[in-house]
Chain A
Amino acid sequence: MTPRALAFTLNGRPCRTSAPVHWTVIDLLRDGLALTGTKYGCGEGVCGTCTVLLDGEPVRACLVLAARLDGRALETVEGLERDGSLHPLQDAFAREGAVQCGYCTPGMLLAARALLAEHPAPTDRQVREALSGNLCRCTGYVKIVAAVLAAARAAR
């Protein structure tokens, strides 16, 4: 089976690679590019832990074929920090104690990043709606919502 050649932007940098055509984005990230920050959960688009940003919109890395990356911009949790400093959302999650086991955290961060890009000053309800597709089985939602609201305040 011929691999599909791919050229896309990964966390702000050009990326040229290839992937078997039956690979989804998460296969490419974890196994092709050794970027294991994106977690594999249900594989059916339900749990949200593999959420990444494609052209700024949240998508499920387990549902999107790797071929769909060509020519587009992908952002993963590895792209959040800048010059060794945590992204304000990461900082807020740490400060608020919004991480328990941590498995949902990468997806939560990227879903929240998409929200803050569209609504820099979201309401509590908007945060909950934006995170409605991201499950935390430690059920630590209260602090996760608080962290997103804190990051939004810190950015103002």
Chain B
Amino acid sequence: MRLAPFELAEPASLGEALAVLARHDGESRLIAGGTALVPMLRLGLARPDRLVSLHRIPGITEIQSNGGGLGIGAMATHAAVRRDPSVRAGWPLLAEAAGRVASPAIRASGTLGGNLCYAESASDVAPALLCLDAEVTVEGAGGARTVAVGDFFRGFYETALEPGEILTRVRVPAAPPGARSGYVKFCPRSAEDRALVGIAALLVVAGDGRRCEDVRLALGGAAPTPLRARGAETVLRGEALTDAAIGAAGDAAAAEADPLSDLMGSADYRRDMVRVWVRRLLLTLREGDSAPLQR
């Protein structure tokens, strides 16, 4: 089945892309890897007159790390993020989450920036980026601005992008030294499916090996947007990592969750799975370094 016809712009620079968007405001959609947009076109859920493909913009797929920080071009694919040696060494949580996106062929086309702009609640990479305090660079006719990933998601499939703006880069600061991290993706149907809930956590254990010095926790599929579970973090930060304290963090995360019901599962089921998987992930991280629960 063919897609409904559209015009296609393939700008060779960011300036040209912004100019096309400005000329055709409201009639154009940006396309990155197409793994989210093309199914929407196929199903008739979007009918843009024009697509603006970003693939020819120089440097937009580059992954660079320096001075302890990481910069990822918006068009870097999940597969590229997953295999990049600097990402694996310095930000293993992000590499792990990128490696859990859908299936190998989707990871080879789908991009980090496209994933964020699609603003799927059950995004695999968003919880990791929330834990890592990442921010995005957004460029428009008036110049560039920086938005924390936590402020980028505004609502159900809704972002902070204004008309005519393009997300060009994701910036990730250095992870806390000695942090353990992990991502669990709970898929009750099949491995390549969207997560029912996804949990990313980053844990710094104090020198005595028993107390939580710092913790960051973020949830996918648990609210209209990916969500940083700051309440649960507060419950655990500074506490001894007992089963009871970790259980209380799971309860707090479930209380913060604001899930939707859909064909995959009810809101109550999702909330309960947040409680269960937050607890399991934190118990795993307490025992050792970055041991993924799956795969």
Does A91 count as interface, using CB distance less than 8 angstroms?
no
Q: A22 to B34: give the CA distance in the assembly, Å.
A: 12
The answer to whether B4 touches A22, judged by C-beta atoms less than 8 angstroms apart, is yes
Q: Are A45 and B35 in contact (CB under 8 A)?
A: yes
Can you list, as one digit per residue, whether each of A58-79 has a CB less than 8 Å from chain B (1) or not (0)?
1110111101100000000000
B104 near A63: Cβ-Cβ < 8 Å:
no
**Interface residues in chain A, defined as those with a beta carbon under 8 Å from any beta carbon in chain B:** 1, 4, 20-24, 27, 40, 43-46, 48, 51, 54, 57-60, 62-65, 67-68, 111, 114-115, 125, 129-130, 132-134
Interface string of B40-65 (1 = CB under 8 A from A): 00110000000101010000000000
Among A59, A64, A129, which residue has the most Cβ atoms of chain B within 10 A? A59
With a cutoff of 8 Å between Cβ atoms, the chain A residues found around residue B192 in the complex are 46, 132-133
**Complex: A62 Cα to B105 Cα, angstroms:** 11
Q: 11 interchain pairs (CB within 8 A)?
A: A4-B8, A21-B7, A43-B39, A44-B39, A45-B102, A51-B105, A58-B104, A63-B34, A65-B8, A130-B104, A132-B190
Q: How far is the CB of B131 from chain A (nearest CB, A)?
A: 24
Q: A45-B38, A54-B108, A129-B191 are in contact. List 17 more A-B contacts (CB 8 A).
A: A20-B5, A21-B7, A27-B2, A43-B1, A45-B35, A57-B79, A58-B104, A59-B109, A60-B35, A62-B38, A64-B109, A67-B10, A67-B53, A132-B190, A133-B103, A133-B104, A133-B106
Q: Are A60 and B106 interface neighbours, CB within 8 A?
A: yes
Q: Tell me which of A4, A23, A59 contacts B2 (CB under 8 A).
A: A23
- Whether B108 and A57, one on each chain, are in contact in the complex, defined by CB atoms closer than 8 angstroms, is yes
A111 & B38 in contact (Cβ 8 Å cutoff): no
* Contact present for B38 and A24 (CB under 8 Å): yes
Q: Are A44 and B42 in contact (CB under 8 A)?
A: yes
Whether B8 pairs with A22 at a CB distance below 8 angstroms is: yes
List, in ascending order, chain A residues with CB within 8 A of B105's CB.
Answer: 45, 48, 51, 57-60, 111, 133
Q: Which residues of B contact A (CB under 8 A)?
A: 1-8, 10, 31, 33-35, 38-39, 42-43, 51, 53, 55, 79, 102-106, 108-109, 190-192, 295
Query: Which residues of A are found within 8 Å of B51, using beta-carbon distances?
Result: 65
- Provide the bound-state CA to CA distance between A60 and B39, in Å: 11
How far does the alpha carbon of A144 sit from the alpha carbon of B189 in the complex, in Å?
21
Q: Which 10 A-B pairs have the closest CB atoms?
A: A133-B103, A21-B8, A57-B108, A44-B39, A58-B105, A63-B38, A22-B5, A22-B3, A132-B191, A132-B192
Q: Per DSSP, are chain B's interface residues mostly helix, strand or loop, or mixed?
A: loop
Cα(A23)–Cα(B42), bound, Å: 11
Whether the pair B42, A1 counts as a contact (CB closer than 8 A) is no
Q: With a CB–CB cut-off of 8 A, which chain A residues contact B31?
A: 65
Contacts of B33 in A (CB 8 A): 63
Q: How far is the CB of B115 from chain A (nearest CB, A)?
A: 14
Residues of the B chain whose Cβ atoms lie less than 8 Å from the Cβ of A23: 2-3
Closest CB-CB distance, B105 to chain A, in whole Å?
4
Residue of B51, B106, B295 with most partner-chain A CB within 10 A: B106
Q: How far is the CA of A51 from the CA of B192 in the complex (A)?
A: 15
Complex alpha-carbon distance, A125 and B191, angstroms: 12
Q: Contact at A24–B104, with CB atoms within 8 Å?
A: no
Q: Which residues of A contact B103 (CB under 8 A)?
A: 48, 132-134
Given the interface pairs A43-B39, A45-B39, A60-B109, the reply to whether A67 lies near B104 with Cβ below 8 Å is: no
Look across to chain A and name the residue whose beta carbon is closest to the beta carbon of B37. Answer: A63
Minimal Cβ-Cβ distance residue in A for B105: A58
Chain A residues, Cβ within 8 Å of B43? 44
Could you say which residues of chain A place their CB within 8 Å of the CB of B104?
A: 58, 111, 114-115, 129-130, 132-133
Q: Which residues of B contact A40 (CB under 8 A)?
A: 1
Minimum CB–CB distance from B57 to chain A (whole Å) comes to 14
Measured between alpha carbons, how far is A130 from B295 in the docked complex, in Å?
A: 12
| Distance of A51 Cα from B1 Cα, bound (Å) | 16
Q: Which of B6, B55, B79, B295 is in CB contact (< 8 Å) with A21? A: B6
Are B109's CB and A129's CB within 8 A?
Answer: no
Distance between A33 CB and nearest chain B CB, rounded to angstroms: 16
